[in-house]
Chains A and B, each alone.
Chain A
Amino acid sequence: GDSVTQMEGPVTLSEEAFLTINCTYTATGYPSLFWYVQYPGEGLQLLLKATKADDKGSNKGFEATYRKETTSFHLEKGSVQVSDSAVYFCALSVNDYKLSFGAGTTVTVRA
């Protein structure tokens, strides 16, 4: 079935460090890929998305590129801030109603 595997956390970083969270997927169709973020005490919200191979999604300094050849959608940010502390979820969709989520990666940024 369709699934997403993302790197386990937790990840702890210092402010201004580089962040990478790995995400790979398995899909029978041609999926769209998403990163959602969950800040403490809140629901998930869309961070960025990509709908076809080689697309790059970006938002709030975060980027991820849809790599069909490696079935990956890794999330990166060049310089993290304390406010980036959150849980990050990779997700995929192959139809118009269902998303499959990864297990989530907890990121803590220290000042």
Chain B
Amino acid sequence: NAGVTQTPKFRILKIGQSMTLQCTQDMNHNYMYWYRQDPGMGLKLIYYSVGAGITDKGEVPNGYNVSRSTTEDFPLRLELAAPSQTSVYFCASSFGGMRGANVLTFGAGSRLTVL
């Protein structure tokens, strides 16, 4: 059981380049999320999806795009990378459900550096 798989684990980008972080889950979860983790700042929600074909913005969506064409996949696209996007990115998924039932399963993270 793979859970949530993210690729790549590490990437260095130059300013202005674009890339896609891949995320796949095999648990048939409805909800999927992208968070970024900056030192001392906790996790900030970038985008989330409640099902295939549905996406919505989180707290810090600027500079990112997502799509959800299948239940399993939720790629995060960075357009025109900037140094402020240097961070560790986590994909997560869950069955959803009211409050306490919504337990997230996280991927191992993708460390992105923009120089």
A interface, CB within 8 angstroms of B: 4, 31-32, 34, 36, 41-46, 49-51, 89, 93-99, 101-104
Contact of B99 among A4, A89, A94, A103 (CB under 8 A): A94
Report A-chain residues with C-beta under 8 Å of the C-beta of B31.
Answer: 97
Chain A: minimal CB distance from B100 (Å): 3
How far apart are the CA atoms of A103 and B90 in the complex, in Å? 15
How far apart are the CA atoms of A8 and B50 in the complex, in Å? 33
Report B-chain residues with C-beta under 8 Å of the C-beta of A46.
Answer: 103-104
Question: Would you list which residues of chain B between 92 and 115 have a CB under 8 Å from chain A?
Answer: 92, 96-109
Question: Do A93 and B108 contact each other (CB < 8 Å), given the known contacts A43-B4, A101-B42?
Answer: no
**Best-surrounded residue of A45, A99, A101 (most CB of chain B within 10 A):** A99
Question: Do A44 and B106 contact each other (CB < 8 Å), given the known contacts A103-B41, A104-B42?
Answer: yes
Interface flags for B42-84 (1: CB within 8 Å of A; 0: not) read 1101001010000000100000000000000000000000000
- Shortest 10 CB-CB contacts between residues of A and residues of B: A43-B106, A51-B100, A32-B100, A32-B99, A103-B42, A101-B43, A101-B42, A44-B106, A43-B108, A96-B98
Report B-chain residues with C-beta under 8 Å of the C-beta of A101.
Answer: 35, 42-43
Report B-chain residues with C-beta under 8 Å of the C-beta of A31.
Answer: 99
Q: Who on chain B is nearest to A49 by CB?
A: B100
A102 touches B42 (CB 8 A): yes
Question: Do A45 and B100 contact each other (CB < 8 Å), given the known contacts A89-B42, A98-B48, A103-B40?
Answer: no
How far apart are the CA atoms of A48 and B13 in the complex, in Å? 37
16 further interface pairs, Cβ-Cβ under 8 Å (given A32-B102, A44-B92, A49-B100): A32-B100, A36-B104, A42-B109, A43-B4, A44-B43, A45-B106, A46-B104, A51-B100, A95-B98, A95-B99, A97-B50, A98-B45, A98-B48, A99-B45, A101-B35, A101-B42
